[in-house]
A and B are shown apart, each in its own frame.
Chain A
Amino acid sequence: MGLAVPAAPATAADEEVTLESIVNNTILGHAEDGYYLNFKPFAQVELPRIMLVRTADGALTLEAYGSTKGLLQNGPYGLAAHGDGGEGHADPMTASAELTEAIGAKEHLHGSVVRTSGAVVADLSISRHLIFGLLAMLIVLGIFIALAQRYEKDRDRLEAPQGIFQNMMEVLVVFVRDEIAKPNIPDGKWRTFLPYLLTAFFFILVANILGLVPFAGAATSNIAVTGVMAIMTFSIVLLYASTDYYKELLTGPPDAPVLIRIILVPIEIIGLVMRHLALAIRLFANMMGGSLIIFSLIGLVFMMNVIMGEAAAWSTTVISIGFTVFILLLKLLVAFIQAYVFTILSALFIGMAVEEHHSDGEEETEPGLDGRSEERLDAIEDQVEQRTQPTTA
């Protein structure tokens, strides 16, 4: 997430900065995925493009180029301008003079490439979100392999763990175990699913926090990443679901009339899919929304510069920087909350699926409310009585 916006566009292109180019290239270009790393004002690193293509004579080949620029200059590709899709579909730029000018104006970073002969089967290019997703994965792996080795080394120590780092991570791990896995997955089955929940929690947390680092981006603000994570939860639900769950899903509640079952079964199935779809959309929209708000607030300065002139832009700067700091703090909170929400909802769905109904008519036990939580409720009530008695007596 580079906060830099082209302050001096005249060097790149001699045309004026329009409102459309600010919105399309600067605001959306930063929030969306892209094939370059933005270190403006220091550098802009283009990422390798890898294309699985079917050439004109029907052979499947894998083509790799160092950058989008190289792809356009050396390969049989043309540049299609961004945003003017739809009707007409203007021919992609292929002439080298035109291309050089477009690359000079950095249009190739925001447009899409089209193969002039044959067709692209799969675009396997390395994108910004892929880089930061892998980086988040490496950070999580590094932290937890180092931590696991420390626990392995002094397995039978008796004193409390030493060091800020180990303590902080242990708090988070124990939080996921005691507050997320145990209360939501019944019958001691949480042990099976705790590794997945911990992995999901820490990957999302680290990826979200990477989105707050200057020049970096959040891999979780990509619908593909969150979609894959939701599919993982969905497949765990489908694979580990008890026969009772499937029976109830496919034939409706046990003692309902047939007519109601016919209505309820499709609703249940649609609800099952939508729950997991919402899991993906929620994380994606939260992260994407946060970065869009930040870039829009900063982009406001440059829009004011175009519409009302320099003085208005300077006074907008003060306001928009203030709001941006506020939103950034909010995003830090959201990074934690979204990791928590994704994990607890995954645990809830898995818990609902793996639960076995002991079908000897005990409807009074609510799902997730097993004996332990009732004990806890009793303990709370006792405490309340003990506290209130001295005051009332």
Chain B
Amino acid sequence: MDPAALAYLAAGLGAGISAVGAAIGIGRLASSSMDGAARQPEAAGDIRGLMIVSAGLIEGVALFALIICLLLVLFV
């Protein structure tokens, strides 16, 4: 098989799988922080800040994966 074609395939699959991973992570994060905010509405502000930071960290991992996919596509 053509190596370039394999690289495109890998990039596409990689982008999809990293999106799945990030979606699982951020989904769990959002659900549990909503639980927390619903139980303790006073702490909702603190929870929101923590949630954004953790979402940023999870997103960072997914973006690492996306950069690798972009490199696969652009520099084969």
A→B interface (CB under 8 Å) = 28, 179, 278, 281-282, 285-286, 289, 337-338, 340-341, 344-345, 348, 380, 383-384
Residues 38-57 of B, flagged 1 when their CB comes within 8 A of A and 0 if not, give: 00101100000100110011
State the Cβ distance, A363 to closest chain B Cβ, in Å.
22
B contacts with A: majority SS:
helix
Residue of A nearest to B56 (CB): A341
CA distance A383 to B49 in the complex (A): 21
Residues of B within 8 A of A384 (CB): 40, 42
- Residue with the greatest number of chain B CB neighbours at <10 A, chosen from A179, A341, A348, A380: A341
A and B contact pairs by CB, cutoff 8 A, 19 listed: A179-B49, A278-B57, A278-B60, A278-B61, A278-B64, A281-B63, A282-B56, A282-B60, A285-B67, A289-B63, A289-B66, A337-B56, A340-B52, A341-B52, A341-B53, A341-B56, A344-B49, A345-B53, A380-B43
Q: Count A-B pairs with CB separation below 8 Å.
A: 41
Residue of B nearest to A344 (CB): B53
CA distance A341 to B60 in the complex (A): 11
B40-A285 in contact (CB<8A): no
Residues of B within 8 A of A179 (CB): 49
Residues of B within 8 A of A383 (CB): 42
7 nearest CB pairs, A to B? A285-B63, A341-B56, A282-B60, A278-B60, A380-B42, A344-B53, A383-B42
CA distance A380 to B47 in the complex (A): 13
B interface residues, tally (CB under 8 Å): 16
Residues of A within 8 A of B61 (CB): 278
Residues of B within 8 A of A285 (CB): 63-64, 66-67
CA distance A380 to B66 in the complex (A): 41
Residues of B within 8 A of A282 (CB): 56, 59-60, 63
B→A interface (CB under 8 Å) = 40, 42-43, 49, 52-53, 56-57, 59-61, 63-64, 66-67, 74
CA distance A7 to B61 in the complex (A): 38
CA distance A179 to B67 in the complex (A): 31
CA distance A278 to B42 in the complex (A): 32
CA distance A173 to B52 in the complex (A): 19
Residues of B within 8 A of A338 (CB): 56
For A281, give its contact among B40, B64, B74 (CB under 8 Å): B64
CA distance A341 to B51 in the complex (A): 11
B60-A281 in contact (CB<8A): yes
CA distance A338 to B67 in the complex (A): 17
| Supplied contacts A281-B67, A344-B52, 5 more A-B pairs, CB within 8 Å | A282-B59, A338-B56, A341-B56, A344-B49, A384-B40
CA distance A358 to B1 in the complex (A): 62
Residue of A nearest to B49 (CB): A179
CA distance A115 to B57 in the complex (A): 43
State the Cβ distance, A313 to closest chain B Cβ, in Å.
24
Residue of A nearest to B40 (CB): A384
